[in-house]
Each structure stands twice: as C-alpha cells, then as structure tokens.
Structure 1
C-alpha cells in the first residue's frame, strides 16, 4: 500500500477488490490523524500476506469514525488479540467467506452491533460472543452443530444459523421470539435455512412428520419444539427457512459491478 494513502484526508470509503496486499505497514496506516472522515472499509476478494491482518489496519490511532468494516472472500485466518484496544466498538463488522477456524478473541470485546462470520470453517461459538444488549449475529454456513447453552442475551437480538448443523435451540431464544418484530422488521428473528431443524420443521408444517427428532430436555426451548396446532404460527414466525444469500456483503453484485470491462 503506497504511503500516499495518508494524503487522502477527506476519504470516506476505502475499498480493495480483487487484490493482494503484500506490504501495508505503518507508513500507510489508516489513522484518525490522516483519515478523520473515513467511515467504511471494504476488502473484497483480497489476499493478505500469511492470511494476517495488515499492520496498516492495526494502528493505535485507528479512525474512531470507521464503524463499518467488511471483509468478504479473503484468506484472513485470525486477528490480533489486542485489536479491541484499537478498533471502534459497537459498529458493523463482516469477516465472511474467509479462513477463520475460531472466533477471534478481540471480537468479544469489540462487540459489534452487527457481526457476520458467515462461510468460515468455525466449529464453536463462545457464549461471550452472544452476551450483548442488542444486535445481529450471522454464523451461517459455518461448521457449528450447537449454540452456547448459557448466555446473557438481549430479547431484541436476532441471528442467522442457516446452513449449519443446528437441530434445536436453547431456551434463551424464547424472549427473542416473544419480542419478534420490535426491531429490524425485515429480518427474521432466527434464520435457519438448510439446518436439520428447518428440514424437520418444514416436514412438520407439511404434515410429513409429527414431531422433531430431538426430544426436549432441560434448558432447551419449549416454544421451538412445541408442534401443537396452536403453536405452529409461532414456529413459522420465529424461525425462517427461506433462502437468503450466504453472505451479507453483496458479493454477486460486487463481482458484476467491479469486474474488468474490456471495450470492443
């Protein structure tokens, strides 16, 4: 990354597309001093040296205004543990379609309002990631089979677990179901397309089976395992099994919009 990046003091959005960053060091770092107006950072189809976050995105003076950070289709495989001391809190962060195998520790402290880790080979979600007052979490298309059993979550929270191996939900989702529609009306409270749970729910709704295969046990959501006729509407409202794009970042549109054009 050229040092002259520090000369763009009015920069509001920085996007890297279909690129490889081999050297992005402190001399070209994003900073509050040089980029006080920067609010959005997009890295799309980007390869980074050794799959590590560039040094230029780890400065102590990282722009406090930068509240929308989106990575999609990258080779990123981890984050520095102290990143929460540098990046702004409570914003929007996507690390989608990358090489994360665990949830980076720093994300728990950064606590983004909207966090997407979709399409990463992550097999476990720590409960601390869900201990929040409100927000939206996308862990769709990961390798998870279970959600944390005990969390302190907001009743206004929403989440995506589509295309995972989730077959049941814990009872901490029940307040979320009760408060469905109070925030983000366009988003389902729980999106579970392509999961064992949704497969069986659709079979129940079409009267091809009479019950879920997972028997209820202590700590599980009664609401989402109750298939009595008077609860079917609750099930349909609480859990969406409809198809959505795998990533929140509009990667298909981006590929069309940013493709190399060769004039005839």
Structure 2
C-alpha cells in the first residue's frame, strides 16, 4: 500500500481505528475523519511514532451536511487524489434526534453524510489507478424496510428499525454506485463486520453501572474491532478483490444480502432522495 492514500471516517475508535492502524502498517498514507479532535490527534501521533507514515486528521461530524461539504473542500485542497474511501462512521440512537438540517440522526450519520462525502470526492477517486469505496453495513440491514416515506423524519421512532434502515441504505448506495461506476476504475463494495464490541451506541439512557455491566456481558459474545477490521483492510488492499465491485462481504468472502436490498427501484428512489437532501442533483455520472 505504499503511495496509496486511504480516507477513513469514524477513525478514532472501533473498526475505523483498527483499520487505520493496520493500513498504516502496510505503508499507506492516511486521511482520518472524526468529530473527536482530541482522539484524532492522539491516533495521528500514535501512527506517526510507530510507522513514520503520512497521516492527516480532519475534524468533521459526518451527520452534518454542512461539515461534510466543508471538509470535502479542505481535502480536495490538500490532496490531488484518493485511492481508498472507507465509509465507516456509524451510530445508533435509542431516542429520536435530528441533525442541524432536520434529518433523523441515524439516517444522517450512517447513510446521508457518507453519500455526500463520496459524491464530493468521486473525482479524486477517479484519479487513482484503482479507486476503492468500502461501505460498512451490518447484518442488521435485514431489519430494515424498503419504505422511504418517513425515513427522514419518522412519526413513530423505532431505534431498531431506524438502524436497520440506515444499514439497508448502505447496501442500496453500494449497489447503485457500483452500477453507475462500472465503466470506471473504481470499485464499490460493502462489509458486514460482524457483532463488534464498539462504543457507537449513544444516548441509551442507562445509568453508568448498568452500562458497564451490560458492556461486560455483551463483549463476551462480540468480536474485537481488530478482528472485525480484517475484511475492511482486505477490501482496501488485496489484489484478489481489485476488480470485484457491487458485492457484500463477510469474513473476506462474498455473501448475499437480504432480498430487499437488491431492489433497484428502491435504490433509485433512495439515490434521488439523497441527491435532494444533500443538494447534489448536479452531480450526475
């Protein structure tokens, strides 16, 4: 991965951090995005001390379309191309929240921000000899539904449904983007990282001791971020998948996603909705 530039969102913890450390070991240059500046600078220093590799951190909340636009412009100013884009940042909210644009926060964080980031940087990926986009989905996408009418501002919020629909959106985006880029040198794939011990579930209303206890119990059954990141790093770096696009991976193998995820009609509806919500109708390819 020498001379390769990899951008990772949600890079200060969990899968994103684990993937960043592993890719740094391969010699890749890194662009790290996170809303936590303190953690971002810490991991940058950690990588520089260990690997002497180039790494740059940008503070941005992926749920804010304004911040995504701003950070995209900064990246385009600082770099001339990107080889790998890993759309990893994610969250699950037990209560109903909206972002600054009035969009349900799970949908904004897990799908819409990455949709905007990817389209904003697509020309940089086209400059790579072999660009790769990797979207982190989840087996929870099977809990999602194809209905999009209330995905932006649901009347009755259900955390399980909201998260499942956001992960289903990751797959619609993956398959539609791969189709649109099939004549290019860019591949687009999605990953189910498995049940991972991360801290992405926020605002769950639990008192501290209960959080600690439940985390301990759950972590006994969950895999580590280091293990979960293996397929992400594989898709980012392996020649074996250099020409594979529009697929869903688990443990470095192609698997089928839910039947609902292959609906081209819903994928197109989501694409058009995402263009409208992000103001990117002019970005057609």
Establish whether TM, by shorter chain, passes 0.5: no
TM-score for both structures, normalised by structure 1: 0.29
TM-score for both structures, normalised by structure 2: 0.28
Q: Which has the higher helix share?
A: 2
* Larger Rg computed on CA atoms: 1
